[in-house]
Structures are given as C-alpha cells and as structure tokens.
Amino acid sequence: MSREYEVGLIINPEASEEEVEKIKKSVTDILEKGKGTIDNIDEWGRKKLAYPIEKHNEGIYIFIKTFSPGNVLASVERRLKLSEKVMRFIILRLDDKLKKTNRLEKRWKRAEKMTKKTDIDEKTESKPERRTTSKPAGEIISKPESRTVSKPEIKPEIKKESKPETKTEKSSEIIKEENNAETE
Amino acid sequence: MQRPNKPGSPRFQKKQFFSRKKYCSFCKERIKFIDYKNASVLDKYILETGKILPARVTGTCNYHQKQLGKAIKRARHMALVKFIEPKRG
C-alpha cells in the first residue's frame, strides 16, 4: 500500500551546501529504492525560526512530497534520527484527510443552494412587496411585547434608560393604588 | 432582528448591539484541509502569547477548528509558530 506522504526537514544552518545536498540525496535515495516516487521538492532555504533550536536562530527548510509505501518511510525516519545535522523533522500522511471531506462538500452545496434561492427572491419584485404589507401588522403586535420584555433586563447596566421606566412603573403603581382605593 | 430576548443574559444583549455575524473563513474559501506550512494564516488564529484562539471568538466551524489545532501544533514543532510564552511585566 503506497500512499502520499510529506517529509519536512530543518537542517543546521552551519551545514555547508554539500552537506545539505547529501542529506537530501540520502532521503530521496531511500524512497526511490523502496519503489516510491518523488513528486515535489520544496526548498525554502534559510529562514528565521520562531524560537531557537540547539542555540541556532536560523534553519534550512526542505519539504519532500512522495508517493511511496509506509515501511520505506520508517527507514527514512531511522536515518533522520541518526543524522546530526538535522535539527527537526516531520513525516505526515496526506491522503487520508481528503476522505473525510464529503460532509463538508455536502454542506457547501446546501449553502450554495440557499444563496441561489435568496438571489431569486431578490430578483422577483412582487414577493417582497407582499411581505412588506404583511410585516407591519406583525411588528405592531410584537413591538410592545419586546419593549416590556427587554427593558427590565437593561436596568442594572444602564441607569439612564431605566429612569423613565421607573417613572412609568411608579405611575402605574399609583394608578393601581388609586384603583385599589376606588374599589375599597 | 426581532427575536425574543432571553431574560437575564447580558451577553445576548451585547451581541444585538455590536457584533456582526461570525463565519468560518476556511469554509468561505472552500479549503479542505489546512496546511501547517502556511504560517501567515495560522498567525491570525494565535494570540501574542502563542495561545490558540477558541472557535467562539473566531467563528471557525468545528471541522476546521480541529484541523487548525493540529496544524498549529505541527507548525510549533517545526519552529514556524511559537510556543506559549508567559507575559512579561
């Protein structure tokens, strides 16, 4: 079973160009011997590290993409562990992540459909007019409800808005008291 | 706009006033998996101290937040992104 892998290397900045190429060749040779193919070699050259490794602030970055059987990469790992000039390395399998994206694609398709529908609604002018006619009636009903619900929440945070409210409440209380007095 | 307010939730009130609706920026660009080598993208989802920002702040979906975490941890190993540093002073 061969799969797609990626090998990343950080090589000591004190290493000469020959040594860097030696390391690169050693990796590629192992891969090719194990019936693997080398798809791409990405060389970034010297780059500043986010934090010092082995008291070096720079490193030489190389990334190699391959399509090869997994047991070959185990031998690559063994080689990289032994070599002193390689400060860090990483080996990743790439292809298995692509299998799990079916759900994402479905979700994106659904989202596209939704956006298309909304576009159609905007294009046809007759529909929104009906909505606007129907809306205000709903708004009139819902507005007083929302006010009564929302205002007591704001009370502790904002004092200014609460003041008129308290007045209204007081007035309502007074009215209630009056009513009570009348009833009594 | 006129959703019924849940009583006694100050966070809900703040949302009404200030925030735009958050969205997953990876879903918008239709990215299937996040590459750990792309440090300039990962930096947007990291604090100055190196902490990974939570999804409820950035608005990334669950699928991409999981991948982001993994990508950032791989990038930390390869010295592309820094580890968590304590605040100085």
A10, A107, A154 member nearest B78 (Cβ):
A10
| pLDDT at A127 (0 to 100) | 47
| pLDDT at A182 (0 to 100) | 61
Q: Is B37 in Cβ contact with A146 (below 8 Å)?
A: no
Q: How many CB atoms lie within 10 A of CB A93?
A: 12
pLDDT tens for each residue of B7-54: 665 555 555 556 678 888 998 888 888 899 999 999 999 998 999 999
More confident of the two residues A65 and B86: A65
| pLDDT at B33 (0 to 100) | 82
What φ, ψ does residue B58 adopt, rounded to 5°? -85, -25
What is the spatial distance between Cα A61 and Cα A87, in angstroms, rounded to a whole number?
10
Which residues in chain A have Cβ-Cβ distances shorter than 8 Å to B8? 153
What is the spatial distance between Cα A44 and Cα A61, in angstroms, rounded to a whole number?
5
What is the spatial distance between Cα A182 and Cα A22, in angstroms, rounded to a whole number?
103
Answer yes or no: is the ipTM higher than 0.90.
Answer: no
What is the spatial distance between Cα A123 and Cα A12, in angstroms, rounded to a whole number?
62
- Over 60: is that where the pLDDT of A6 sits? yes
pLDDT tens for each residue of A7-18: 999 999 999 999
Which residues in chain B have Cβ-Cβ distances shorter than 8 Å to A51? 79, 82-83
pLDDT tens for each residue of A62-104: 999 999 998 999 999 999 999 999 999 999 988 765 666 777 8
Which residues in chain B have Cβ-Cβ distances shorter than 8 Å to A8? 37, 78
Say if residues A33 and A125 touch (Cβ distance below 8 Å): no
Q: What's the pTM value of the predicted model, to 2 decimals?
A: 0.65
Which residues in chain B have Cβ-Cβ distances shorter than 8 Å to A50? 76, 79-82
CA distance A99 to chain B (A): 10
Q: What is the mean pLDDT of residues A46-57?
A: 92
Q: Which residues contact A46 (CB under 8 A, 6 or more apart)?
A: A13, A58, A59, A60
Q: Is B33 in Cβ contact with A101 (below 8 Å)?
A: yes
B8, B13, B81 member nearest A50 (Cβ):
B81
Q: Is B79 in Cβ contact with A51 (below 8 Å)?
A: yes
**Nearest-Cα residue of chain B relative to residue A100:** B32
What is the spatial distance between Cα A182 and Cα A115, in angstroms, rounded to a whole number?
61
> Residue A8's closest CA among A61, A53, A73, A69?
A61
A10, A107, A139 member nearest B79 (Cβ):
A10
Q: Is B81 in Cβ contact with A97 (below 8 Å)?
A: no
pLDDT tens for each residue of A120-177: 766 654 444 445 444 444 444 444 444 444 444 555 555 555 444 444 555 556 666 6
